[in-house]
Structure 1
Amino acid sequence: MRRTKNILILLLFLYLPWAVFASRIVDVSSSVVPGNARCEYLINPKGLDELQPRLSWTLRAADSSAFGQKQTGYRILVASTESGLKLNRGDVWDSGWVNSSEMQQISYKGKPLVSDKIYFWKVSVKDQKGKVSGWSKTAHWTTGLLKPTDWKAKWIGTDQIFDPAQQDCNISDPWLRKTFTLKAKPAKANIFVASVGFHEVYVNGKKIGNDVMAPSVTDHTKRARYVAYDIASELKAGKNVIAIWLGTSWSIFGPYIVKDRPNTPIVIAQASIYANKNSITLSKPELVIVTDETWKTHESPNKLLGVWDSNRMGGEIWDANKEVLNWNTTACDETTWDKAVSYQPKLILSAQKIEPNRAFDEIKPIGIVERNDGSYRVDMGVNFAGWTEIKVKGNQGDTIKFLFSEREQNDITFSNHSAFIIGKTGQGTFHNRFNYSSGRWITIKGLKSKPSLADIRGWLIRTNYKEATTFECSDPLQNWMYDRIKWTFQNLSIGGYIVDCPQRERLGYGGDAHATCETGMFNYHMAAFYTKWMEDWRDVQGTESIVGNMYDQNFARKSIMSGRIMNNGVLPHTAPTYMGGGGPAWGGIAVSLPWFIYQHEGDTRILDKNFELIKGWLSFLDLNTKDDMLVRFGGSWDFLGDWLWPGATAEGMNNDKPQTVFLNNCYRIFNLRTAAKIARVLHKNKEAKQWEKQAEVSSAAIHAKFYNTDDHSYSDKSMSNLAAALLGEVMPENLKPVIMKRLENEILVVHKGHINVGITGGAMLFKVLRDAGRDDLIYAMTSKTDYPSWGYMKANGATTIWEMWEKDLPGHSLLHSSYLYPGAWYIDGVAGIKRDSQAPGFQRFIVRPPLLTATQMEWAKANMESPAGLIKTAWKRTADGLAMNISVPPNCSAILQLREDEADITDKSKYIKDLGVKDGFRSFELASGNHVIKTKKI
């Protein structure tokens, strides 16, 4: 027996070096190398509750000078242990060799997944010659609690209940803790934490992870999202303590008030602790820690200022006299702590399948001025939404106030303020935890001596999605716009949805989403973010928007236009936040956003999951049609058309004019046409035919009523209505070029190259012009420096994009989602990287240098990490022609579209195929690889 064992050991010893050598040979011989592994769009995600998670990867060329690299097959291994995966044992799933070029959203088809477990995976591919690549680097995901019955914990909180009648919040952000004993340091321990209100998790005094303001924002009338934390490394043999700090925040948000949930922050948490490595494979852990009445609670020194309502978001106040040393360690004396209170809210518990919030881009002040009233004015140099840290000194009991403002002439805007009460040491540091401010200037009151620049710091807070794209061009104004649009977008993305503004409302408007979503997709990895936001829209369907003070006695689903539950497919204008005004283009994001995600990512699951949402929305619009046209419905804030166009406040933004009826009808038709495309992808032909027919009938009706034959315009002849007509394709086919020519005249002649639309009309306009390749018209509007324009904002000292085109109108935001739509054009227009509508997901894409002259723009370049791999474009116009560098990722192809007068390629390659002329362009198919192309004018 021993001899046999020794022989096996010898064989293994001889085999392993050869196996390593062989794997290296395989890796070198293949033309492609898989990498960039993602699961459900995330890198090594924790706590997923998806039973069939999707796996994705991209390819890198083994030889960067080669061309034509392709994937012809793949093999995925999923293992229960990392050591098993290293031995190429897919004991959970071995897909076997699949003959396919697919790299995105490959659904897991292995053994049923188990709760609270880690799964390791990797992929190998075959190239165009059938040669096998090496394995990708090991990736992993962990599961959450996959069944409701897996949860044994209770919801707990305190007996402090929020009183909305108060000017500021009356309850403290509570501490909760549980002490327990372990026989040995554990090998594995994950804790799953869902809270209504923000939370932080501590183990033996140490904060777990770098996340802030967790979890992502969610409709707490229906759902709570849990976050998974690995706490094994912080646990020890002997006495331990798990502590949770709750932040009031969304727990008191008016639209989330329901009878079964208290108006106070609550939490549910569960940790399974395994004593040693061998026990990891067992079904039962050594110890399970759950939240229940045995947990202890105490007031923290932190409290919300304000009441978490529009214009009353406030900030935070820290009372250093209430600090408790070692509150989250085993040394803390719990004898004076109260017992936690258990609650029974009716909430779905689901995993947070999105990147967490993080702190980014430390911001340092550029100046401090002492004023005559004894206050100090701090200039942070840039408008931002996030956290501040300020060191203070004084006498015990002194209250130091911090007032935040977007405007240099105002001490405070939108009631953004925080405070610090000094304790017995006479000094301290204010630091945000469960709220954030927004502004550029800070007025500090109550200090007796001037702070130094080093005493003050700030950070942008946003969802931790990754940047996908870099861009630069020869035009300094366009570079400034691109940079400020991206900065503004980041400042709007706290908590897994895009807010209209971070300082005043923090609402997730669907209409504003049209102005931001494609900018987001072309510049960041946003798929998980938008997938989560679509779940929010599904959650809120069936309820009207809430307009007005959410703490009125008639609040919440009782009086007309205060959130009635209608269950007829209606959508509020914001999600997951319910509040705010809007119109059909706001709820219509339920159709548009899934389609944009599908086009960008090739994701059919996003279409399928939201199909019933789409059907419900369109059926609601059907209830409000007459003579095949949409008619005004709802209250005064429910049928908005364009919003915040130049001079809108003087004209009356919430108007009842015919042009609003026309624009909303065009948007409905755009929704119908888009929904029909979605139905075709899903092979739902019945719905596709119905929506296609409705679109044609309604187009004929709206055209007959609103078309102006004298000048080929619509309704009031405005820029927004011309764009709406083209977006909805309401005109007969032969009139499309005529209407586009009329739009061109409206931009260049009537408005002398200036933009004359708002949020909704602007999103429509830029979408129409981008799709039509009218870079010249977009450039005309984006190159202006006088009112109204982005250049006008720059000339007036803007560091973020404003809510309105006008300067300093009282009450409007200087950090807003209104006009971010050029952010997509810089990539798919100026850089020329366009999606191919016939090949979603970028495995085939279009490259079209912009239709601009060298005097308008001499050169541009961009790198974009598309879902299918890294795309690079760089072009430069010269007197002789066009010089281009185009990098096509492995397993992809590009269609280069050039104007006929500059389509003579001087250095033809066998990897460039001439496809002929179509729609005024000569097209060429580019194989994967790095292409250097020069043309000469004909």
Structure 2
Amino acid sequence: MSHLSVENLRCEYLNNPLGIGVTRPRLSWQLAAEGKGVNQAAYQIQVSKADETFASLHWDSGKVSSNQSIHITYEGPATESRTRYYYRVKVWEQGGSLSDWSETAYWETGIIKPEEWTADWITCDLAAHDRLPDASHMLRRSFVLSSNIKSARIYATALGLYELELNGTRVGDEQFAPGWTSYKTRLQTQTYDVTSQLHEGENALGALLGNGWYKGNLAWENQHDYYGKERALLVELHVCYENGESTVIRSDEAWKAETGPILMSEIYHGETYDARLERKDWSTAGYKDSAWLPVSLLDKDKSNLLPQENVPVRILHELSPVELIHTPAGETVLDFGQNMVGWVAFRIRGAEGSEVSLQHAEVLDHEGNFYIENLRAAKQTNRYTLSGNGEESYEPRFTFQGFRYVKLEGFPEDLSLDDFTGKVIYSDMENTGHFECSDERINQLQRNIVWGQRGNFLDVPTDCPQRDERLGWTGDAQVFIRTASFNMNSASFFTKWLRDLQADQFPDGGVPSVVPDVLPNSEAANSSAWGDAAVICPWTIYLCYGDVRILEDQYESMKAWVEYIRSQGSNEYLWNTGFHYGDWLGLDAKEGSYIGATPSDFIATSFFAYSAHLLSRAAEVLGFEQDAIHYQQLSKRVAEELNREFITPSGRLAAPNQTAHALALQFNLVEGAVKERVSATLAQMVADNGFHLTTGFVGTPYLCHALTQNGYNETAYRLVLQEEYPSWLYSVSKGATTIWEHWDGIKPDGSFWSKDMNSFNHYAYGAVGDWLYQVVAGIDLDEANPGYKHSIIHPRPTDGISFAKASLETLYGELSTDWKIEDGRFKLAVRIPHNTTATVILNGASFSELTEQGQAADQLDGVIDRKEHAEGVTLHLQSGTYSFEYPWQQQIKTQA
């Protein structure tokens, strides 16, 4: 083993976070060394408060005997607001070697307690001053600073959306701050390091305010002002000097207000901007604001303030248009080649007062014309009036669009594609997963899944990013969360969203259909599979990241949901009452219905059993022994009741469709001979349907898993590789670059499924992505050792794919597989992160023919245990890289 080192230090999943509010943050790190079997035996953490040299320690863990290197809780004095804490780590390896101290990392707190805020909420009644009420606020004030500035931080939030400027320069690169939370109980605040933007003498701070989710349009009934009627700003600038003195500039009555070029800005409808009304240098110190309007103080409670929890939204990609199209209808349309979420920035020259507009759409119709009917009431249009001052540039601030195509109006005929740039925005989650295989259609499917996640993980997990909806549907989130956590590190994203779910949970334990809940008094709340997000999502984050704290935080919410279900109807073990979305958009739905044919009480009771089981598992992890026993017994009783209700004496499932059979298998609701019959029947259903699916939102995520895990892996492959409608690859064959809401959003003849509900960026069916990672590539976790402390490597190839490779950046480091079938031999390369182990299952292998880097199996290094059995070879391995090879003969159970 080469020199051992500690790398990639993280605090609450983040590298050097600024402005967090966790008083007992958790620290993680990775081990780096060459060779196999590198395992931590002990660690030591030192923390210094505002002292990078560690000359004075704030906390020293001492040497702690432990192999844990993720989520180690800081146990020093409770953290204070507006304070930086430096930390470093060293570890002892099981072989006795000791690392050097790691490089120094830090975390810095924001304003932790609401009562610590000294600033006032400020606003301005624009209409009372004869200003356009829909125009964005411009707020500013000047101030004087002394010399020798040591550090400066801005702490800010808003009712609505905000952007800050300091001395004429944008503050930070976050978009759509403060994000969307359940504002009545939770409003995030942001922290910015602005030390380099300040100087001695006069300075100026400015802010722009937009409606955003707070008071803008929400949902499809022209609902607005849901959280409040007044936009407002809350901000504090704390400046520290080298001599130890400090000063605070805060929002108060000294500020001034005006309107400017942003005349209207709505998330759904777009932005209207008049460049003739620009106020040049408005956020600089020399700007004359004597004619500006006074601000007023807003009597608004601050008890809901909390430092930022989620990663911010940022511009993360830029795309250039690939084609300029002149449609049969005479429209001028840009094609960006990719269905994306964000906006278009452009450059233009023209006469003063000329207006141009950009309208955004996802698809062209079958004649090649611009198609917007599926947007419903959302206008998705940005309008710009030119100032006439030479070359001008523009991009919106407080709106976003879902689009591939952009219709241009008012632009000169000689426009250049180089003048347009698509800005792609989403929550800045770390890219952690990569998958590819020998079938380029599947690779495109994977790209579509990732782009669907990018387009819909915009501070909340929205269902779609283009029409008048864009809501945090709970059902969509829970079916996709496992795939999401392969593609990106979604832990912070879902932690924040689940806290909003808990905040919006009803007093009786019921769960709204969307979070944050902006569908008040909805009769469609508390649906099975949707409300179950309260249990499934925290459990999945725990499994994927080893995060016990999310179970601690969400346990009462999880328990309340299960107890809500139990209280429904006259039979506490059978959920057969209330509204349910059922197998939403299932292809076996009755004419005119969105709900598939699977009985709603079967789906509801299945999820009841599953959530009770997961709650029992969570209770066990948290040490709640009585709850663990109680809810496991409840889950068993519910499964027994479901069997009595839906299984005939001969073992037939009395719900003859794919979704019911997939749920019964995936949730372990049937056993023994009944399970074998249900498995065979499901496979036969798929085969009899020409290897096509009929499932909707509920059945689709589990269909391939149910087949693979019960001996019908080839059937699952044939289903995924199917290109004819209905299938995952049908949309790929039609040129899709994201996942569709409907299997036939565009029909084979080019017509559309519906104008009422036909999103072309709707990630739910992308849940097949976790099957690609787990089964095709063979990367899975061990639930008994979550967070990939122990991994399961089990690729299951069959006809149709000759190679696959995938990688996953776990909290311990990179876990990867790379296999191919070549010249009659199966070759598998594996990387297992240090301080972890893995079980590698090699179907069809034998010790007599298995080699690792050319060495015979009995000479393998890094093997903890080995076993040969009828299906092949199982190896329990230490960390490191391995390369296996053995003769390949297709292993296929007789298929339906």
TM-score scaled by length of structure 2: 0.91
Deviates further, 898-907 or 592-601: 898-907
Return the letter of the residue paired with 2:21: D
Report what 1:9 is aligned to: none
Q: 1:395 aligns with which of 346, 351, 375?
A: 351
Q: Deviation of residue 462 (structure 1)? A: 0.6
Task: Map 1:76-155 onto structure 2 (within 5 A).
Answer: 76-85=45-54, 89=55, 91-155=57-121
Q: 1:784 aligns with which of 699, 716, 722?
A: 722
Return the letter of the residue paired with 1:358: R
Q: Is structure 2 residue 876 aligned with structure 1 residue 925? A: yes
C-alpha separation between the residues in 2 aligned to 1:377 and 1:254?
27
Q: Is structure 2 residue 488 aligned with structure 1 residue 524? A: yes
Q: Is structure 2 residue 405 aligned with structure 1 residue 441? A: yes
Q: 1:52 aligns with which of 24, 28, 32?
A: 24
Report what 1:799 is aligned to: 737
Q: Please tell me whether the aligned partners of residues 156 and 266 of structure 1 are also in contact (alpha carbons under 8 angstroms).
A: yes
Report what 2:812 is aligned to: 868
C-alpha separation between the residues in 1 aligned to 2:98 and 2:711?
41
Q: 1:494 aligns with which of 429, 450, 458?
A: 458
C-alpha separation between the residues in 2 aligned to 1:43 and 1:801?
32
Q: CA RMSD in A?
A: 2.5
Q: Is structure 2 residue 298 aligned with structure 1 residue 360? A: no
Report what 1:576 is aligned to: 516
1:369/1:742 CA distance change after superposition, 3 Å = closer
Report what 1:653 is aligned to: 594
Q: 2:571 aligns with which of 627, 630, 654?
A: 627
Q: Deviation of residue 137 (structure 1)? A: 1.7
C-alpha separation between the residues in 2 aligned to 1:668 and 1:243?
52
Return the letter of the residue paired with 2:695: V
Q: 2:828 aligns with which of 884, 890, 910?
A: 884
Report what 2:430 is aligned to: 466
Q: Please tell me whether the aligned partners of residues 404 and 411 of structure 1 are also in contact (alpha carbons under 8 angstroms).
A: no
Report what 2:633 is aligned to: 693
Q: Is structure 2 residue 198 aligned with structure 1 residue 235? A: yes
Q: Please tell me whether the aligned partners of residues 77 and 90 of structure 1 are also in contact (alpha carbons under 8 angstroms).
A: no
1:700/1:452 CA distance change after superposition, 3 Å = same
Q: Please tell me whether the aligned partners of residues 52 and 107 of structure 1 are also in contact (alpha carbons under 8 angstroms).
A: yes
Q: Please tell me whether the aligned partners of residues 598 and 659 of structure 2 are also in contact (alpha carbons under 8 angstroms).
A: no
Q: Please tell me whether the aligned partners of residues 493 and 499 of structure 1 are also in contact (alpha carbons under 8 angstroms).
A: no
SS in 2 for 1:586: coil
Q: Is structure 2 residue 373 aligned with structure 1 residue 378? A: no
1:46/1:71 CA distance change after superposition, 3 Å = same
Task: Map 1:647-796 onto structure 2 (within 5 A).
Answer: 648=589, 650=591, 652-654=593-595, 659-709=599-649, 712-747=651-686, 749-769=687-707, 775-796=713-734
Q: Deviation of residue 358 (structure 1)? A: 1.1
Percent identity for Structure 1 against Structure 2? 27
Q: Deviation of residue 714 (structure 1)? A: 2.6
Q: Please tell me whether the aligned partners of residues 215 and 227 of structure 2 are also in contact (alpha carbons under 8 angstroms).
A: no
Report what 2:286 is aligned to: 331
Return the letter of the residue paired with 2:542: Y
Q: Please tell me whether the aligned partners of residues 461 and 473 of structure 2 are also in contact (alpha carbons under 8 angstroms).
A: no
C-alpha separation between the residues in 1 aligned to 2:680 and 2:78?
58
1:919/1:397 CA distance change after superposition, 3 Å = farther
Q: Please tell me whether the aligned partners of residues 40 and 92 of structure 2 are also in contact (alpha carbons under 8 angstroms).
A: yes
Structure 1, unpaired ranges of 5+: 1-28, 163-168, 280-284, 543-566
TM-score scaled by length of structure 1: 0.87
Q: Deviation of residue 612 (structure 1)? A: 0.7
1:149/1:746 CA distance change after superposition, 3 Å = same
Return the letter of the residue paired with 1:478: I
SS in 1 for 2:261: strand
Q: Please tell me whether the aligned partners of residues 880 and 937 of structure 1 are also in contact (alpha carbons under 8 angstroms).
A: yes
Report what 1:548 is aligned to: none
Q: Please tell me whether the aligned partners of residues 215 and 225 of structure 2 are also in contact (alpha carbons under 8 angstroms).
A: no
C-alpha separation between the residues in 2 aligned to 1:208 and 1:501?
26
Task: Map 1:416-455 onto structure 2 (within 5 A).
Answer: 416-425=380-389, 428-455=392-419
Q: Deviation of residue 910 (structure 1)? A: 3.7
Q: 1:218-244: CA deviations, max 9, x gaps?
A: 111212100100111111111111111
Q: Please tell me whether the aligned partners of residues 915 and 925 of structure 1 are also in contact (alpha carbons under 8 angstroms).
A: yes
Return the letter of the residue paired with 2:489: H
1:427/1:913 CA distance change after superposition, 3 Å = closer
1:71/1:914 CA distance change after superposition, 3 Å = closer
C-alpha separation between the residues in 1 aligned to 2:289 and 2:622?
58
Q: Deviation of residue 156 (structure 1)? A: 1.7
1:46/1:686 CA distance change after superposition, 3 Å = same
C-alpha separation between the residues in 2 aligned to 1:796 and 1:603?
40
1:788/1:301 CA distance change after superposition, 3 Å = same
Q: 2:850 aligns with which of 890, 905, 908?
A: 905
C-alpha separation between the residues in 1 aligned to 2:43 and 2:554?
29
Report what 2:886 is aligned to: 935
Task: Map 1:1-400 onto structure 2 (within 5 A).
Answer: 31-61=3-33, 63=34, 66-85=35-54, 89=55, 91-160=57-126, 170-253=133-216, 262-276=228-242, 278-279=243-244, 286-305=246-265, 313-346=268-301, 347-370=303-326, 375-400=331-356
Q: Deviation of residue 633 (structure 1)? A: 4.6
Q: Please tell me whether the aligned partners of residues 157 and 340 of structure 1 are also in contact (alpha carbons under 8 angstroms).
A: yes
Q: Deviation of residue 605 (structure 1)? A: 0.6
Q: Please tell me whether the aligned partners of residues 199 and 213 of structure 1 are also in contact (alpha carbons under 8 angstroms).
A: yes
Q: Please tell me whether the aligned partners of residues 315 and 418 of structure 1 are also in contact (alpha carbons under 8 angstroms).
A: yes
Q: 1:551-592: CA deviations, max 9, x gaps?
A: xxxxxxxxxxxxxxxx11111011124338562111101100
1:647/1:419 CA distance change after superposition, 3 Å = farther
Q: 1:819-851: CA deviations, max 9, x gaps?
A: 11122122222111110011111121110011x
SS in 2 for 1:47: strand
1:496/1:92 CA distance change after superposition, 3 Å = farther
Q: Deviation of residue 106 (structure 1)? A: 0.3
Q: 1:464-509: CA deviations, max 9, x gaps?
A: 1111122221121111111111111111111243444444411111
Report what 1:856 is aligned to: 800
Q: Deviation of residue 602 (structure 1)? A: 1.0
C-alpha separation between the residues in 2 aligned to 1:260 and 1:641?
29
Q: Deviation of residue 90 (structure 1)? A: 5.9
1:142/1:502 CA distance change after superposition, 3 Å = farther
Q: 1:510 aligns with which of 474, 484, 496?
A: 474
1:388/1:254 CA distance change after superposition, 3 Å = closer
Q: Deviation of residue 185 (structure 1)? A: 4.3
C-alpha separation between the residues in 2 aligned to 1:830 and 1:303?
52
Q: Deviation of residue 390 (structure 1)? A: 2.2
Q: 1:842 aligns with which of 788, 802, 806?
A: 788
C-alpha separation between the residues in 2 aligned to 1:80 and 1:334?
41
Q: 1:577-622: CA deviations, max 9, x gaps?
A: 4338562111101100111111111111110100110111112112
Q: Please tell me whether the aligned partners of residues 586 and 595 of structure 2 are also in contact (alpha carbons under 8 angstroms).
A: no
C-alpha separation between the residues in 1 aligned to 2:30 and 2:193?
28
Q: Please tell me whether the aligned partners of residues 9 and 29 of structure 2 are also in contact (alpha carbons under 8 angstroms).
A: yes
C-alpha separation between the residues in 1 aligned to 2:504 and 2:204?
38
1:260/1:801 CA distance change after superposition, 3 Å = closer
SS in 2 for 1:190: strand
Report what 2:448 is aligned to: 484
Return the letter of the residue paired with 2:121: W
Deviates further, 406-415 or 763-772: 763-772
Task: Map 1:820-835 onto structure 2 (within 5 A).
Answer: 820-835=766-781
Deviates further, 368-377 or 905-914: 368-377
Return the letter of the residue paired with 1:37: L
Deviates further, 205-214 or 639-648: 639-648
C-alpha separation between the residues in 2 aligned to 1:918 and 1:295?
76
Q: Deviation of residue 255 (structure 1)? A: 7.4
Return the letter of the residue paired with 2:817: T
1:616/1:436 CA distance change after superposition, 3 Å = same
Structure 2, unpaired ranges of 5+: 747-751, 890-896
Q: Deviation of residue 732 (structure 1)? A: 3.7
Q: Deviation of residue 100 (structure 1)? A: 0.6
